[in-house]
A and B are shown apart, each in its own frame.
Chain A
Amino acid sequence: MDTSIDSRTEIVDVRHISKTFVFDGVEVNALDDVTFRVPRRQMLAIMGPSGTGKSTLLHILGGLELPTSGEIFIDGSPLSGLSDVELTLMRRRKIGFVFQSFNLLPSLSVVDNVTLPLILDGISRHEAFEKAREALRQVDLLHRLQHPPTRLSGGEQQRVAIARALVIGPSLILADEPTGNLDSVRGGDITGLFHSLAREKDLTVVIVTHDIRVAAIADRLIVLRDGRIAYDGHPVADTDWLAALQSGVLT
């Protein structure tokens, strides 16, 4: 088995990872021997029924959680053995996060929310502001720079969150149900935005979703069932994933 990874072409390399949680003394396998690689500029959707390990997988990819066993490489670097500070710096510089509930800081303005990761990294306020403007331009929110997030619609708030993820110039964006709190029109806008970003910005986007429309425009779809990969392929080229998803739902 070839264990080498070409980081010029592949950004994520997940090897035999498992994750076991213990609830009230009972062990639950959230992930069980999951292996896959993600090439650069790919938009990968991860689907599966609730409790099947999708979010856990995303959190492990982002270094927010550690696998019980197995190895993960991001941009050629192994995550195992990294200290908390190294994991934090990796998140700060390489990974952008987008959450279902936006998670913007209500006390900061739109532009301050976006500059935050840059200022955390010691970039000057002026430079951070310019970069934030550029990121907000990409999500078409230049006119909302000084607004507090609470005055924005859900779709706008999610675009601010995407701008915050983009501003650091990440290699990877991890999005956890980004359209879950949005109506279908705004959800469609956000999905389209992710798709075009992956195409135009040399970005890899991994989206955990329940929304078939999101999966439909992804380059690749992984379906998880009982912590294992039940399907890994193109969402349009064949429809086996539908069967896999349905059987998962039924089980």
Chain B
Amino acid sequence: MLRPVRTLLTMLSIAVAVGSLIAVLQATSATRKQLDVLHQTVSTNVSAEIVSADGKEFPSELLPGVMSLPQVRSAIPVVHLFGTVTFGETLVRSVLTGVDLEQYGDFRAFKLTSGRLFSSPGEVCVEAGVASRLGLVVGDKLTIRSRDVPIASRKTVTGILEFTGVAALDERGSVFLPVREAARLKRATGKITSILVTYADNTDSRQMSAKIEQLLPEGLAVSRGASSSELSRPTESLVNVSLIVAATLSMVAAVFIVVNTFQISVRERQRQFALFRIAGATVEQIRHCMYREAILFAVAGTFCGVGIGIFSGRILTAGMYDLFHVEVPVIPFHFTSVLAGLIFGPIATMASVWVPARVASRVAPLTAARSAVPSEGIFRLRPLLVAGVVTILISGLLFVINELEQTSVWTAVIAMTSLQIGLILILPVVIRPGTFLIYSLTEHVMPVESQLGRRQILDNFGRSSLTIVVLFIVTVSSVSIGNTILSVTGDIESWLDQTVTADFLLRASRPRIDMSQSDEMPENFDAQLESIPGIKMTDRVTFSLITINGQTATLAVRELEKYPGLPLVIQEGEMTEVRRGLLQGEIVIGSVLSGKLKIRPGDTVRVDAEGINQVVRVAGIVQEYTAGGLMAIMNREAAQKTFPLTQTHVYMIQCQDGKTTEAGEALRDLARREGLIFQSLADVRHLVRQMVSGVTNRLWLILVISLFIAAFAVINTLTMNVLEQTRYLGVLRTIGMTRFQVFRMFVLQAFVLGLLALLPGTMVGAMMSALISVTFRSVAEHGIAFRLDTLLTVGYFGLGLLLSMLAAMLPAIRAGRLPPLEAIRQE
């Protein structure tokens, strides 16, 4: 085998195929995990919380019943009580939480920064913020007082806990003690205030809540918390499907590259095989010769590919940081993805060589006598067209079934995959007219390059089609997954921007996950706040556990009239109408709740809050993530006319421009004095943004890998074109074609191949993303609004086209530099 370039390209094709598969699998897995972390940051792991409607404690006997339900992964009793903690001369307000910390990790992310967990009634663990405020270390003794029992209780600090994600905000100011001891301090021995529940993966939380509710005595309710499993399930499915489709398509693209290489190899060596046949080689001998060769390529290529797959992620990570200062966390090593690559490499190689080997073995011995390699056989388009149209029709049918019947997520997945396969099948039909159209435009500027390039693309229709299909596949998957992930992260960011308008929060204690219970704020607190300079506005928020049309939900009552617009992301309804309605006493409903109750703006709902039952008109539907999206919002003044909601749980404080730091310090002092919990929302925004950028940076990594696959496909095809056309390039150079003309001809070819793939690919990718969004809206409670990211879509198109042309540089330069004489002598 004395063709080093061809040998290297064949091996590289397999290596790139295996490597890209491993890299994509690892990157998609890492992205999925990062998105999960993001969701856990904006929510928690609590699927549901069983509470009493009146906020009172209840017997813990029903716990075994809840735990016996097959879909319940974990359920723990909790006792919350409000109180104070004193250490030395300093006293702070605190939430005293009785809970088994060994199990609490299933619900809230935390780590023990020092000491150990408590093991006796006289021991407590404290949240890091409390420890810092009081200057506590492990071994210190503090005094706790419950609001319910006026007796002080001395406790030893055994450990300091640091909470992460949103839990870090919720658990601020907490002191943890054994459940029994907390119940004793609450004067409610044997009773608890709530049960926290997490469900197993893929559990339908609506059905589960209904099942649990059947077990509950009157007065108890299931409140669905700000749970990641609840909140992120639809978006997780959305992204998971995109990532699975991307990984599958990258596998298909990889197979195409290998098939392409072997096809080219066979065509190039047709004369050689014919000579073997003349020399007496049988059909089987030629076929086996190719299989043996393929096995060698498969082994060498697969091992190289595993290396590429493992290290490319790291190299790209470092490269992206060096180039753009974008921090992409290192992709962890996954043995399963490497195993997938090890299995995929040989199978894809042997599958790819199967047809070319059969074609090669059938070469007529007389072919050797011909001076020129014959053109490819006629490419049959009609069967492809028919198959493509049928596949698209089947996909359409599945979409309709899914829309009407609201079947499973997988119906939608199969429909989308079928649609893409159908489009791939009909793509070759547009290649011929597309090639003519593009070259007719370039012909005025580069007549020879256009004429010869067009011939080369159309004469090698199979190879050109395969290249275009590979580019099309990676473009569709990249653009669709890119837009889907950016829609998800954009959704979270816009919610954050529009709803988290305050700079600081002040509250008496951590609320329950449904936000409905909190300690009381100090007296004359409004006056104290007013005395702080630099405060622009305060929004007093009250939470209440209510039922809407019988469904438990959280009502947030806010001073919405103080905002020029509305600090809400309105999904349905017109802003001014929604605002007007709210000021008149109407209610807005969170999207998850509206989906569950099938409520639309203008409908009326029965609201049961604080013992008062009232029919209220729905002003609009809003995007809401807190309390698992089971949220309703009313204007404070209007709501108070109907419901006795006088208490303030949280103060949302907005500062004047440029006074944030100064006012923040004053508020921090006030909180310290009054023993309140002070939260800077800038921290929340920063935390969420960090997570979002973690997801998007991983997305860029996937896109870079896909562009690399695309570039390799172009290099592969054009290098093979140069190798195959060497003799004719020599003729062209001899009769007067300059090196630059040869160079331009190949770069133009790459441009045409790229355009034919990227233009439909980008459009189909964007369409797929929209389709994913629409389809999942119908199968999930909380759909994600589709946003076309122009930068990503247009950028991918432009960069892909540029990269295709850059990828052509190497073969084009090689073609231009071919010495005419040597080229002419080439057989």
Contacts and interface: CB of A to CB of B under 8 A. Distances in A.
B821 A106 contact: no
A59 B821 contact: yes
A103 B739 CA distance: 19
B738 A85 contact: yes
Contacts of B498: none
A91 B455 contact: no
A101 B448 contact: no
Contacts of B108: none
Interface in A74-88: 84-85, 88
Contacts of A99: 731, 824
B821 A91 contact: no
B736 A93 contact: yes
- Most chain A CB within a 10 A radius of its CB, from B459, B732, B735, B821: B735
B376 to A, nearest CB: 11
A99 B730 CA distance: 12
B375 interface: yes
Nearest to B371: A101
Interface in B715-741: 727-728, 730-741
Interface string B293-314: 0000000000000000000000
Nearest to A89: B736
B451 interface: yes
B135 interface: no
Interface string B445-484: 0011001100110010000000000000000000000000
Nearest to B730: A103
B374 A121 contact: no
Contacts of B791: none
A120 interface: yes
B733 A88 contact: yes
Contacts of B459: 107
Interface stretch (A15-23, A41-49, A111-119): A111-119
B811 interface: no
A164 interface: yes
A210 interface: no
Given A107-B459, A125-B447, A120 B735 contact: yes
6 contacts: A65-B821, A99-B824, A104-B731, A120-B732, A150-B374, A168-B736
A88 B738 contact: yes
Interface in B352-401: 371-372, 374-375
A117 B735 contact: yes
Nearest to A123: B447
A236 to B, nearest CB: 32
B820 interface: yes
Nearest to A125: B447
Given A65-B821, A105-B728, A150 B372 contact: yes
Nearest to B370: A150
Nearest to B816: A84
Contacts of A105: 452, 455, 728, 731-732
B602 to A, nearest CB: 67
Interface of B: 371-372, 374-375, 447-448, 451-452, 455-456, 459, 727-728, 730-741, 820-821, 824
Q: Is the interface of B mostly helix, strand, loop or mixed?
A: helix
B447 A119 contact: yes
Contacts of B455: 105, 107-108
A119 B736 contact: no
A150 B740 CA distance: 29
B821 A64 contact: yes
B738 A103 contact: no
A97 B733 CA distance: 11
A37 B727 CA distance: 32
Nearest to A94: B736
Contact of B372 (A64, A84, A88, A106): A106
A92 interface: yes
Interface of A: 59, 62, 64-65, 84-85, 88-89, 91-93, 97, 99, 101-108, 112, 116-117, 119-122, 125, 150, 164, 168
A250 to B, nearest CB: 28
The 3 closest A-B pairs by CB, nearest first: A92-B736, A103-B731, A107-B455
Nearest to A56: B821
Given A106-B372, A106-B375, A107-B459, A91 B447 contact: no
A85 B742 CA distance: 12
B727 A103 contact: yes
Given A64-B820, A120-B735, 10 more contacts: A59-B821, A64-B821, A85-B738, A85-B740, A88-B739, A97-B735, A103-B824, A107-B375, A117-B736, A119-B451
A121 B372 CA distance: 27
Nearest to A122: B447
A62 B735 CA distance: 10
B448 A92 contact: no
B615 to A, nearest CB: 79
Contacts of A101: 371
B736 A107 contact: no
Nearest to A101: B371
- Most chain B CB within a 10 A radius of its CB, from A97, A104, A121, A122: A97
Contacts of A84: 738-739
Contacts of B733: 88
A168 B736 CA distance: 10
B448 A120 contact: yes
Given A103-B727, A107-B456, A120 B375 contact: no
Nearest to A164: B735
Contacts of B824: 99, 103
Contacts of A62: 734
Contacts of B736: 88-89, 91-93, 117, 120-121, 168
A214 B147 CA distance: 121
- Most chain A CB within a 10 A radius of its CB, from B456, B459, B733, B736: B736
Contacts of A117: 735-736
Nearest to B731: A103
A99 B824 CA distance: 10
Contacts of B734: 62, 64, 91, 97, 103
A102 B372 CA distance: 11
A108 B731 CA distance: 13
A119 B741 CA distance: 12
Contacts of A121: 736
A180 to B, nearest CB: 12
A88 B735 CA distance: 8
Contacts of A168: 736
A38 B374 CA distance: 40
A5 to B, nearest CB: 24
- Most chain A CB within a 10 A radius of its CB, from B447, B734, B738, B741: B734
A162 B824 CA distance: 17
B377 to A, nearest CB: 14
Contact of A119 (B448, B728, B730): B448
Contacts of A108: 455
B735 to A, nearest CB: 5
Contact of B741 (A91, A102, A120): A120
Nearest to B741: A120
Nearest to B735: A117
Nearest to A90: B736
Given A64-B820, A103-B727, A112 B738 contact: no
A132 B112 CA distance: 88
A92 B731 CA distance: 12
Contact of B732 (A64, A89, A116, A122): A116
A91 B732 CA distance: 11
Contacts of B451: 112, 119
B147 to A, nearest CB: 91
Nearest to B455: A107
B374 A116 contact: no
